[in-house]
Structure 1
Amino acid sequence: MEWCCRLVLPLLFSAGIFCFGFSQDLKPVAQKVADQKSKNRSFVKFSPFTKDVASKNARIYQNEAADVTVMQLKTQELKTIVTEKPEAMELTFPFEGRELTVELVRNNILTPDFQVDTDKGVKAYTPGVYYQGIVKGDNSSVVAFSFFDNDVVGIASSLNIGNVVLGKTKNSSDFVSYNDQKLKEKNAFTCGAEELPENAGKKITFDPNKKQSKLTASCVRIYFEIGYGPYTQNGSNVTSATNWLTALFNNIKTLYDNESVNIALSSTFVWTTVDPYSGQPGAILNQFRTTRTTFNGDLAQLIRNPATTSVAYVNALCGIYKYSYCGVNNQNIAVPTYSWNIEAMTHELGHNLGSPHTHACAWNGNNTAIDGC
């Protein structure tokens, strides 16, 4: 799936969220799966979902996403995954009248000093179990799954299939899988980075022949601040809100891993009362920058409702403007829309890391665009 507003990270060949560059060489995530196989690692088989053909809510979900599959969770299988934390697994789930199988390896997404804070103090948190991998038989695909005590969040992206979203529905124990291209509600995400005066005149030299071939050992640490809206959206529960965030970040990290950019989640702050930010996106970003003057991380991103314009400072990693703001989807429909939020969050971090839009006249050493996307 190719998004309208693409980004190119400096010195990287492929560009954009859920967009892949292909060659005979394996991309880093597929290589991790291949490495486990070369070590004769056992991929433990799991099928934690059964198709629910008699769901009373099926019509509701079908009105929101065509060809959606309703599923019920096998709680014992989930408990086994969370408890045993296998290094590698093969997971199968129902999707559009067939079974889709993904091959997954453990993914460490948190820094050793990761901590959850709130406006009322530090909150103890037990992380989920996080995996990345591929659709079985498709080395050009990319997959990320996160497992918690009572929840599973997964996205499998492939040129042949699209973005397959798996998650729990709103106000129900039902799980669904669906292709996000078949959502009937439109994604409200837009990026306003070019409207910021701080980004005016930012140029970049991009040479596609200078592809970085190795995943750098250096790690960009990301601090996230969860606004009051997403907190209430997650049942006014700090653990649920943090699970939601880490599941999103697992996907974000997997996308960046696949482009040889190493990132990790270093700290999270959750507003359990009304947060202090208001106004237009650019104003909110400036308020965030001047309010959160110190944080545990290299980049800071504020996420809050509603899902409108998101915005970030460009090429800000080593300066005072290392901030971004994302208006995330407040899910007023029943089916989960994780991929929309992942798109916005990954996109704005890409700006912080140095990338303008590919349609910006800021590239190629002569201030021209890469494309018209």
Structure 2
Amino acid sequence: MRILITLIFLSLAILGNSQEVSPQSLVESARKEGKTFRPYALFTEENGSLRQYKGANEAFSEKKFFSTSPSRIRRLLDDAPKQFTLMVPGLKESLSLELVAIDLLSTDFQMMHASGVTTEENSNIQHFRGIVGKTPGSFAAVTVSESGIQGSIFTKETGMKVFGPMEETEGNPNIPHILYPADAFPNKEKLTCLTPEENRPYSPQELSRNTTLRTGPKCVNVYLEVDNDIFTDKGGTTNTTAFMTGWFNQVATLYANENINLRLSGLFLWDVPSPYSGSDYNMLTQFGAQRQSINGDIGQLVSYKGRGGIAWLNGVCASSTRFKLSFGSALKSFQNVPAFSWNVMVMAHELGHILGSQHTHACVWNGNSTALDGCAGVTEGGCALPPLPPNGGSIMSYCHNTSVGTKFGNGFGEQPGNVIRNRIASATCLQTCPPIDNSGTGTGSGSSNGTGTGTGGGSSSGNGTGSGSGTGSGSGTGTGSGSGSGSGTGGGSSGNGAGSGSGTGTGSGTIDSCRTIKLELTLDLFGTETTWQLKDSAQAVRLSGGPYLNKRNGQKINAQLCLLPGCYTLQIADNGGDGLCCNYGNGGFIISNVKDSVLSRSGSFTNNTVLNFCIPKTVSGGNGSGSGSGSGSGSGSGSGSGSGSGSGSGSGTPDSTCLFLDLIKNKVLTFAGTQDLGTVEIIENGKGAHLKANAWKKIIGNYVITSNTVVDFEYRSNLAPEIIGIGFDNDEEISANLSFQVGGYQRWGIQNHRSFNSLSTWQKVSIPVGKFYTGTFSKFIFICDEDKFNPPGDALFRNLRIHQGNCTAALPNKPVPLEEDIKETIYLYPNPGNGVFNIQMNGNFDDDIFLSLFSMLGNKVSDQLISKNDQYKTIPLSASNLNPGIYFYQWRSGQKTGKGKLDVISN
């Protein structure tokens, strides 16, 4: 079949056949098992008089305001009920929702950040599905997080209602919520469709119901990618995760009501600027180029960009990943109210195209190439235009643009629903949904073997036999070593024989790999004051966070990182000067290992505090065994034989052999075409490279990145460029998601190993690349990005090693002198800039620095004293509200002086 791309600007809905995975069946199964639905009263009705409600009160003709408290939510999350009853204030009367906890995530769910930060699954988000009381045909989806409670409620009598937290909570100790009809969002779009027509009618078999689905529907794993505009708007990882999983839960509930089982298998967050821009079509094609593989069967990129959605048609089990993808344009909040219903509609519709369904106004239905409805005003294929459906449209229709509207209770409708179900049933790449098992076990084993030889001699008359035994010790090789020997003796019955044996053995030894460390931050009332950085002993930043939203007192931010043995520092800053505890809440930071043993904690401080902890290194040797045998003969007729065997264990030191990359034998070439405008000089007899100006260089090879791959090197700079880094690639396009920034004053690429130290001295860094991505690459990349400054910046690299985590020898401790001397310099950036500037110092300053700023006419604008102790920090320029124009600055530190120019574009 020809795969077509489907571009849509639309809206959708869902239904209520109660089958195996439907919300109705979940509740009925729990009742049959005698489960108790404990009631939870989480909400208090509001009259809409608070400031947060003002705009929504005027914009929504039908709505209900209510609030909940962080402590009520916390109680429910701590209880983690398998089933419960939730009372929700309705437009006319309260609604009693009977809810059952569901496994929204697949067993191999992965959460990723574009920056490379890894976080654990957030257990503070729980998902439920159920029904409204005893109402037939009803269904509900609810997601609970510390940000609030969001969900959707459908009954045949009242249609679909959606509810969730308001965007702004500033000044309100509780969390305000709103409920409104799904089709009543004031700022909804009326969009048109640019879908290319396939015009291949569905066969009667495709349109009929497949009864085998009743016994075990297959599972469709969905990968979601979230653009940076949504991540920034929601305020970081925690709120974005709650928003996205709540959104997906409502979509998956619509599908579950059709006996279609969706699981969330991947959530990728763009916490740095993404490469996506332009029209819906551009967004999809860029998405396909960016993602060569996904952790899922189908995928969708969501963003505030674009005006609707676009998808490939029938992409399940496609040979190329790009045909499995779609794009959905989300709406921002309006009058402090998130566009819950619109976003659910767009995602459900786009996924429907990937799963095989065309629009309901396409001339492909009914077994006679006609359309199902006339909601689009035209048909796709030129067949007769049907009337509007009297009971409203379905998910794959355009009835949202008409007076009848899209009714979520109609679901996909019989024929589109059957097409999707049949496509899933016949998809050989899909599996039946497995039960979720959150337990984990691990086993380890070692093996050893040995060989031995023995000799013996004896003398007597007659016939005799001999036997012997021996003991020995074994050796571990690779990462541990030892030695062993064995000996044996033997005696004969009519003759005497003596035998001796010796044996040696080999075994496996291990050295610690990375250890998982968990970080838990509890916010106080003023999250915007809080930032933190986790650094290793080389002062490279491994993880960072903040600032956060205000009025999230008690909210927990969870993250984890796999750290190699060594010592680490967690730096926590509070720019309000009151720490995290205890004037404005009981906040704090806890660092623990996987066994929840606390390594360090803090909460009470003023502007900043430092937590130090270490991960010990342990080495164990392997076990070995040896055996020996011997035989002897005497002057008589007797003979004897002996054998010996030995076993033992030993401990040893790590293997210290490791080769540095020779940059003379491995030629350094230009990378990314016109992106590379700089130069490279090979230094230190091939052990290093000196990049100047805007230099992007590559070394061609076959680089297999496994989960154990590590890159070690040293770097420094005489004048810091915008970006210093390394990475891997397969083409001639620069890739932020494959590049690690280690220095420079701009932010680009994976940030976990970026250093904020002075770069004038050699910095050692060890990057566990395999913890961020794996695969085979043809290019290793050096980065010295510098587009603006004159003189240009530079970057020096040396002692580069690429290995599989078994290269434990330390990098050279004594820096190798370079030809040029390190000069102390000071520059201001961004330059040109718009009124807010920073000071960065390179070199080693022995005295405090005095900096003066002058206008073009020579009038002094400002003076600033910088402590020599702060020379490794980025310091804000004290001058503010500078008028546009050219300024000059001079600095003095002891006998050292310098000057520069500053270009102010605007203030």
TM-score category of the 2 structures, normalised to the smaller one: 0.7 to 0.9
Q: Which moved more, 1:50-59 or 1:348-357?
A: 50-59
1:205 aligns with one of 203, 208, 224: 203
Instruction: Report the Cα offset of residue 214 of structure 1.
Output: 1.3
2:363 aligns with one of 361, 364, 368: 361
Aligned position for 1:347: 349
Q: Secondary structure at the match of 2:222?
A: strand
Q: Is 2:97 the partner of 1:99?
A: no
Q: Secondary structure at the match of 1:369?
A: coil
Name the CA shift for 1:325/1:34 in 2 (closer, same or farther; >3 Å).
same
Instruction: Report the Cα offset of residue 104 of structure 1.
Output: 0.7
Aligned position for 1:11: none
Q: Secondary structure at the match of 1:60?
A: helix
Name the CA shift for 1:275/1:60 in 2 (closer, same or farther; >3 Å).
same
- Counterparts of 1:93 and 1:365, CA distance in 2: 44
2:121 aligns with one of 119, 125, 141: 125
| Pairs within 5 Å for 1:112-151 | 112-121=107-116, 122-127=118-123, 128-151=125-148
1:174-225 deviation per Cα after TM superposition (whole angstroms, max 9, x unaligned)? 1112223333322456554x23xxx634543356542545163421111111
| Pairs within 5 Å for 1:152-167 | 152-167=149-164
1:239-269 deviation per Cα after TM superposition (whole angstroms, max 9, x unaligned)? 2111111101111111111111111101111
Root mean square deviation, CA, Å? 2.5
Name the CA shift for 1:279/1:6 in 2 (closer, same or farther; >3 Å).
closer
Name the CA shift for 1:307/1:215 in 2 (closer, same or farther; >3 Å).
farther
Q: Counterpart of 2:22 in structure 1: which amino acid?
A: P
- Counterparts of 1:277 and 1:240, CA distance in 2: 22
The 8 Å contact of residues 16 and 257 in structure 2, kept in 1 or not, is answered as no
| Pairs within 5 Å for 1:238-249 | 238-249=237-248
2:57 aligns with one of 57, 62, 66: 62
- Counterparts of 1:267 and 1:369, CA distance in 2: 36
The 8 Å contact of residues 49 and 94 in structure 1, kept in 2 or not, is answered as yes
Aligned position for 1:30: 24
The 8 Å contact of residues 9 and 191 in structure 2, kept in 1 or not, is answered as no
Aligned position for 1:288: 287
The total of aligned residue pairs comes to 355
The 8 Å contact of residues 162 and 181 in structure 1, kept in 2 or not, is answered as no
The 8 Å contact of residues 189 and 310 in structure 1, kept in 2 or not, is answered as no
1:33-70 deviation per Cα after TM superposition (whole angstroms, max 9, x unaligned)? 11111111100101100012363234322222123222
The 8 Å contact of residues 188 and 307 in structure 1, kept in 2 or not, is answered as no
Name the CA shift for 1:228/1:150 in 2 (closer, same or farther; >3 Å).
closer
Instruction: Report the Cα offset of residue 227 of structure 1.
Output: 0.5
The 8 Å contact of residues 327 and 350 in structure 2, kept in 1 or not, is answered as yes
- Counterparts of 2:43 and 2:84, CA distance in 1: 15
The 8 Å contact of residues 89 and 105 in structure 1, kept in 2 or not, is answered as yes
Aligned position for 1:39: 33
Name the CA shift for 1:202/1:276 in 2 (closer, same or farther; >3 Å).
farther
Q: Which moved more, 1:26-35 or 1:129-138?
A: 26-35
| Pairs within 5 Å for 1:178-257 | 178-188=180-190, 191-192=193-194, 194-195=195-196, 200-205=198-203, 209-212=208-211, 214=214, 216-235=216-235, 237-257=236-256
The 8 Å contact of residues 16 and 258 in structure 2, kept in 1 or not, is answered as no
The 8 Å contact of residues 206 and 363 in structure 1, kept in 2 or not, is answered as no
Q: Counterpart of 2:85 in structure 1: which amino acid?
A: E
Q: Counterpart of 1:221 in structure 2: which amino acid?
A: N
Aligned position for 2:310: 311
Instruction: Report the Cα offset of residue 17 of structure 1.
Output: 4.2
Q: Secondary structure at the match of 1:166?
A: strand
Aligned position for 1:13: none
The 8 Å contact of residues 18 and 157 in structure 1, kept in 2 or not, is answered as no
Instruction: Report the Cα offset of residue 21 of structure 1.
Output: 5.5
The 8 Å contact of residues 119 and 270 in structure 1, kept in 2 or not, is answered as yes
- Counterparts of 1:231 and 1:239, CA distance in 2: 10
- Counterparts of 1:186 and 1:330, CA distance in 2: 10
The 8 Å contact of residues 110 and 265 in structure 2, kept in 1 or not, is answered as yes
Bigger relative CO (Cα 8 Å, ≥ 6 apart): 1
Q: Which moved more, 1:323-332 or 1:208-217?
A: 208-217
- Counterparts of 1:139 and 1:305, CA distance in 2: 37
Q: Secondary structure at the match of 2:357?
A: coil
Aligned position for 1:261: 260
Which structure has the greater CA radius of gyration? 2
Aligned position for 1:82: 77
- Counterparts of 1:147 and 1:125, CA distance in 2: 15
- Counterparts of 1:189 and 1:134, CA distance in 2: 32
Identity %: 28
Name the CA shift for 1:354/1:339 in 2 (closer, same or farther; >3 Å).
same
Name the CA shift for 1:231/1:6 in 2 (closer, same or farther; >3 Å).
closer
Aligned position for 1:10: none
Name the CA shift for 1:347/1:39 in 2 (closer, same or farther; >3 Å).
same
Name the CA shift for 1:92/1:215 in 2 (closer, same or farther; >3 Å).
farther
The 8 Å contact of residues 149 and 164 in structure 2, kept in 1 or not, is answered as yes
- Counterparts of 1:201 and 1:361, CA distance in 2: 6
Q: Counterpart of 2:202 in structure 1: which amino acid?
A: I
The 8 Å contact of residues 21 and 256 in structure 2, kept in 1 or not, is answered as no
Q: Which moved more, 1:209-218 or 1:249-258?
A: 209-218
Instruction: Report the Cα offset of residue 110 of structure 1.
Output: 0.2
- Counterparts of 1:272 and 1:189, CA distance in 2: 30
Provide the TM-score with structure 2 as the length reference: 0.37
Instruction: Report the Cα offset of residue 130 of structure 1.
Output: 0.4
Provide the TM-score with structure 1 as the length reference: 0.88
The 8 Å contact of residues 16 and 139 in structure 2, kept in 1 or not, is answered as no
Aligned position for 2:45: 51
Aligned position for 2:104: 109
Larger proportion of helix: 1
Q: Counterpart of 1:220 in structure 2: which amino acid?
A: V
Name the CA shift for 1:264/1:118 in 2 (closer, same or farther; >3 Å).
same
The 8 Å contact of residues 145 and 154 in structure 1, kept in 2 or not, is answered as yes
Q: Counterpart of 2:59 in structure 1: which amino acid?
A: E
Aligned position for 2:541: none
Instruction: Report the Cα offset of residue 288 of structure 1.
Output: 0.9
1:323-368 deviation per Cα after TM superposition (whole angstroms, max 9, x unaligned)? 1000011224312221110110011000000000111112344432
The 8 Å contact of residues 66 and 184 in structure 1, kept in 2 or not, is answered as no
1:94-124 deviation per Cα after TM superposition (whole angstroms, max 9, x unaligned)? 1224211111111111012212111111233
Query: Structure 2: where are the runs of 5+ without partners?
Result: 1-7, 170-174, 376-907
The 8 Å contact of residues 220 and 297 in structure 2, kept in 1 or not, is answered as yes
Q: Secondary structure at the match of 2:344?
A: helix
Name the CA shift for 1:306/1:333 in 2 (closer, same or farther; >3 Å).
farther
Larger proportion of strand: 2
- Counterparts of 1:205 and 1:64, CA distance in 2: 47
- Counterparts of 2:55 and 2:160, CA distance in 1: 21
Q: Counterpart of 1:164 in structure 2: which amino acid?
A: K
- Counterparts of 1:99 and 1:331, CA distance in 2: 25
- Counterparts of 1:264 and 1:189, CA distance in 2: 29
- Counterparts of 1:144 and 1:242, CA distance in 2: 17
- Counterparts of 1:278 and 1:183, CA distance in 2: 26
Name the CA shift for 1:215/1:36 in 2 (closer, same or farther; >3 Å).
same
Q: Counterpart of 1:254 in structure 2: which amino acid?
A: T
